[in-house]
Structure 1
Amino acid sequence: MASTFSFDIVSDFDRQELVNAVDQVVREIKGRYDLKDTATTVELGEQSIDVNTDSEFTLDAVQNILREKAAKRNLSQKIFDFGQVESASGNRVRQEIKLKKGISQDIAKQISKLIRDEFKKIQASIQGDAVRVSAKSKDELQAVIQRLKQEDLPVALQFTNYR
């Protein structure tokens, strides 16, 4: 009897690395001359990061610092969903940056359709916010991983439970 191999496609991020990145952002804001007196706050919540600062110019600088620190910690830029810039009290601006986790149904369907169309011997099944891919050959699974890495999807993909 031939055994089957499988892996899961998920969209997740290392929470601790994100905590460290946000901590580095806060430290850099306190140390940088151009941001020191802006009373900027960066708060990490369960589902989002809230930034409160004195102008859109400093907000842009904070976003760049966040992207840079996240990239250094191997966090994908695709986990950040930058919301609308809102006016806050006293000429200040606020922005909520949502954290994307999990694969939506639409994207999961898109991934499984791509696998079905291009790889005839491979099964893809949607399981909640993940996609399970199974095949008889590990080489076929490797080909699927390589193909999905080339695809530009709006979420960061990780491949887990490879067996």
Structure 2
Amino acid sequence: MADNHSFDAVSEINHSEMHNAVVQAQHECAVRYDFKGTRASIEFNKKDATLKIEADHKGQLETVIEVLKEKMARRGVPVNALIRGTVEDATHDTVRETLTLHSGIDSDDARKIVKDIKQLKLKVQAQIMDDKVRVTGKKLDELQQVMSYLKENGPKYPLQFVNLT
């Protein structure tokens, strides 16, 4: 039995599942009756982790985003990983919005997570490692308490717990 156990709290999404969700949303936009003959479209840039959504008007833009969120939820991609941008006017009387996919834990949030873990008064240590937080302790029960606390009181973007040893 190991002396110390640990896990990493990270914020990342499965890019292949996100790609599949985007392809499904693009297909639905192509075949839906209310989108026929419109400029409703979704472009996914994997390298930058951004989505460019274009539509004829703001109402249609919101509908396209809802279709995308539905496909993301069905594929198991956390919907709250989407960071909305500003709606801007595009060519030919259309509107465009750029959405960003959140990845990694922000440094301010990482410091808050470490502080919150220390306030739990458990015998665990938390340390910031790049864009993740590593939590170590002797008892698995205490690590599970930290996990459940972070699930309920963590940041507004999705957290995953990996490398539990």
The aligned runs of 1:97-108 (5 Å cut-off) are 97-108=99-110
The ranges of structure 1 where at least 4 consecutive aligned residues each deviate by more than 3 angstroms after the TM superposition are none
TM-score, with structure 1 as normaliser: 0.96
Indicate the residue corresponding to 1:40 in structure 2.
Answer: 40
Shift of 1:132: 0.2
Of the candidates 139, 142, 147, which is equivalent to residue 141 of structure 2? 139
Indicate the residue corresponding to 1:10 in structure 2.
Answer: 10
* SS in structure 1 at match of 2:88: strand
* SS in structure 2 at match of 1:115: helix
Shift of 1:34: 0.4
* SS in structure 2 at match of 1:37: coil
Residues 29-66 of structure 1 show CA distances to partners (whole Å, capped at 9, x for unaligned) of: 01110012112221101220001111111101001001
Indicate the residue corresponding to 2:26 in structure 1.
Answer: 26
CA contact (8 A) 2:57 2:95 kept: yes
Residues 1:61 and 2:67 are matched in the alignment: no
Which ranges in structure 2 are unaligned for 5 or more consecutive residues? Answer: none
Letter in 2 for 1:10: V
Letter in 1 for 2:43: E
Write the distance in 2 (CA, Å) between the matches of 1:112 and 1:134.
12
Which stretch shows the higher mean deviation, 142-151 or 11-20?
A: 142-151
Letter in 2 for 1:115: I
* SS in structure 1 at match of 2:54: strand
Shift of 1:120: 3.1
Write the distance in 2 (CA, Å) between the matches of 1:2 and 1:160.
17
Residues 1:91 and 2:110 are matched in the alignment: no
Indicate the residue corresponding to 1:109 in structure 2.
Answer: 111
Which ranges in structure 1 are unaligned for 5 or more consecutive residues? Answer: none
CA contact (8 A) 2:6 2:137 kept: yes
Residues 2, 51 of structure 1: CA spacing in aligned structure 2 closer, same or farther, 3 A cutoff?
A: closer
The number of equivalent residue pairs is 163
* RMSD (CA atoms): 1.3
Percent of residue pairs identical:
37
